[in-house]
Amino acid sequence: MNKRFCIVIPAYNEAATISEVVAGAVEYAPVLVVDDGSSDDTAERARAAGATVLVNAENAGKAASLWRGMVQAMNEGADAVITMDADAQHDPAELPRLQGAHITFPQRVILGARLRERHATPPLRLFGNRMANFWISWAAGHPVADSQTGYRVYPTELLGRLKPAVARERSFVFESEILIEAARLGYPTEPVPITAIYRPTARASYYRGGLDTWRIVRMVGGKLLARGMYPQGLWRSLRPPRPARPEAADHERTH
């Protein structure tokens, strides 16, 4: 069975990198860029590089932009949605590996896990990622290799069952919460090791360490409290992951 992928890229003032990202990604699947009210020419550059572009009238946040792109991809008949960041942190050349993992494990959320060359990751970011991995793994009930990566593949069968909150203040909660909800619905994660690219000239992250971390912690804490602190989830998250059982699938790469 051929799979139809759609790559969704949320972008806010990413004129410096969006052309490079789209040009690399469009070689592997159609690209849909959601311009989140940029004040630069992000949208024009994305179109010129080969993307279809949706433009938010005003800055709505990453969660709303991702969800708008996902809904559009579902409406257009995609079987799976790949998400990438617009800042060139993700290498498009690794897309075939993520696509292949989805074909092998269609009932999982594929994570491009930043497990290669960890020494290149800024120490504070690495510490934050490890802390987030612990709590989200607990709430999801299985080990999550990289809960903060934006390089993912979601089955649209899963997305169609979600009703996420995407208010602007939840911009960086959305991608953590969706892993917990996916696991609850029977879609655990499957990691694919990738190399994250950290450029000296990269723009500052939009993630606000104190406030956004607090919002994620509050979300995870609420879910754990609602399940009586979910002790079995903690136990499962600390156990080594079991070898996955791939389902029979057609491995031919397709757009």
**One-character DSSP codes across 17-31:** THHHHHHHHTTTS-E
The size of the chain, in residues, is 255
pLDDT of residue 250: 38
123-140 and 231-238 helices, crossing angle to 10°: 130
CATH architecture of residue range(s) 5-238: Alpha-Beta Complex (3.90)
pTM of the model: 0.90
- What are 205's two structure tokens? 């992250």
Distance (Å, whole) CA 134 – CA 220: 11
pLDDT of residue 252: 37
Query: 98: which residues sit within 8 A by CB, 6+ positions away?
Result: 82, 110, 112, 151, 152, 153, 192
209-226 and 174-184 helices, crossing angle to 10°: 20
pLDDT of residue 54: 98
pLDDT of residue 1: 60
- What are 84's two structure tokens? 């990438």
Residues lower than pLDDT 70 in the chain: 1, 116-128, 199-210, 241-255
- Tell me the backbone φ, ψ of residue 191, rounded to 5 degrees: -85, 145
